[in-house]
């Protein structure tokens, strides 16, 4: 599985500097440098690549988790015993890609740190919904099931209980479940657009 991920990344980087035809030996030798020196990547590629890879990672994570916690005959609507390892491989590869694009974003000096942080948080908020909907579809065959019994762990966070790190949750239901998802999605879209950074910067400039 790891070999397939490395090979896919190797071929992608080899082809990126080739105008037409197959990769040359010179292009292939240049791959290791392109992995750690990401200055050849445009900002749009980094920003969109980070979001897309994270979205795929969250979606496949939600589906494989939904398969793990399947009930009775449910939980096999997309992921099943025949294709589980294919989805698991895609999940791991997309998380590797997410880490690589995040690394490229950190190294890039063409955008401010505040905008990068805001965009990254926006990605997390949007893909939180993608995870939630993928999990529900895989487990219950309904991504928008907002019943109380199936939304006890709708919002996850980490806390300390009795001096131990624990998974903690907020539950939702029919009255607020959709509102929570919309809030995550709407705030995420605004943050990906740089709304708060630009607004604060504009207000700061007017005041001072």
Does any domain span residue 152? yes
Residue 68: what pLDDT? 86
Does any domain span residue 184? yes
pLDDT tens-digit series, residues 91-121: 999 999 999 999 999 999 888 999 999 999 9
- Distance in angstroms (rounded) separating the CA atoms of residues 167 and 161: 9
pLDDT tens-digit series, residues 163-193: 888 887 778 888 888 999 999 999 999 999 9
Q: How confident is the model at residue 159 (pLDDT cuts 50, 70, 90)?
A: confident
pTM comes to 0.81
Q: How confident is the model at residue 20 (pLDDT cuts 50, 70, 90)?
A: very low
Helices (H), the chain: 2-16, 25-29, 31-36, 43-68, 84-107, 113-140, 177-192, 195-207
Residue 4: what pLDDT? 54
Does any domain span residue 102? yes
The two structure tokens encoding residue 171: 């539950």
pLDDT higher for 88 or 3?
A: 88
Which residue has tokens 């709304």? 195
| Domain span holding position 173 | 38-207
Does any domain span residue 44? yes
The two structure tokens encoding residue 193: 């657009």
Does any domain span residue 100? yes
Give CA torsion, residues 12, 15, 16, 21, to 10 deg.
-160
Does any domain span residue 10? no
Residue 27: what pLDDT? 64
Could you tell me which residues come within 8 angstroms of residue 10 by beta carbon, excluding any fewer than 6 positions away? 28, 31
Residue 174: what pLDDT? 80
Task: Give me the sign of the Cα torsion angle 81, 124, 132, 164.
Answer: positive
pLDDT tens-digit series, residues 46-65: 999 999 999 999 999 999 99
Does any domain span residue 31? no
Taking residues 116-133, report their average pLDDT: 96
DSSP notation for 116-149: HHHHHHHHHHHHHHHHHHHHHHHHHS-TT---GG
Average pLDDT, the chain: 84
Does any domain span residue 1? no
Could you tell me which residues come within 8 angstroms of residue 147 by beta carbon, excluding any fewer than 6 positions away? 173, 174
- Distance in angstroms (rounded) separating the CA atoms of residues 13 and 34: 7
Residue 5: what pLDDT? 53
State the chain's maximal CA–CA distance in angstroms: 63
**Into how many domains does the chain fold?**
1
């Amino acid at each position: 599985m790891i070999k397939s991920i490395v090979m896919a990344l190797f071929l992608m980087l080899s082809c990126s500097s080739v105008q037409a035809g197959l990769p040359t030996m010179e292009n292939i030798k240049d791959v290791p440098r392109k992995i750690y020196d990401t200055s050849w990547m445009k900002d749009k590629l980094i920003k969109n690549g980070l979001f897309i890879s994270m979205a795929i990672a969250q979606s496949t994570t939600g589906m494989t988790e939904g398969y793990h916690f399947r009930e009775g005959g449910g939980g096999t609507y997309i992921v099943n015993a025949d294709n589980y390892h294919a989805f698991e491989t895609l999940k791991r590869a997309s998380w590797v890609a997410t880490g690589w694009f995040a690394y490229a974003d950190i190294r890039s000096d063409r955008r401010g740190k505040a905008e990068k942080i805001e965009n990254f948080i926006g990605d997390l908020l949007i893909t939180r919904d993608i995870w939630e909907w993928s999990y529900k579809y895989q487990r219950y065959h309904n991504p928008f099931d907002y019943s109380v019994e199936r939304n006890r762990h709708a919002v996850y966070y980490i806390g300390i209980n009795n001096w131990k790190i624990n998974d903690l949750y907020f539950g939702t239901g029919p009255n607020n479940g959709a509102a929570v998802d919309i809030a995550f999605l709407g705030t995420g879209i605004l943050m990906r657009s740089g709304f708060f950074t630009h607004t604060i910067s504009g207000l700061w400039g007017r005041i001072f």
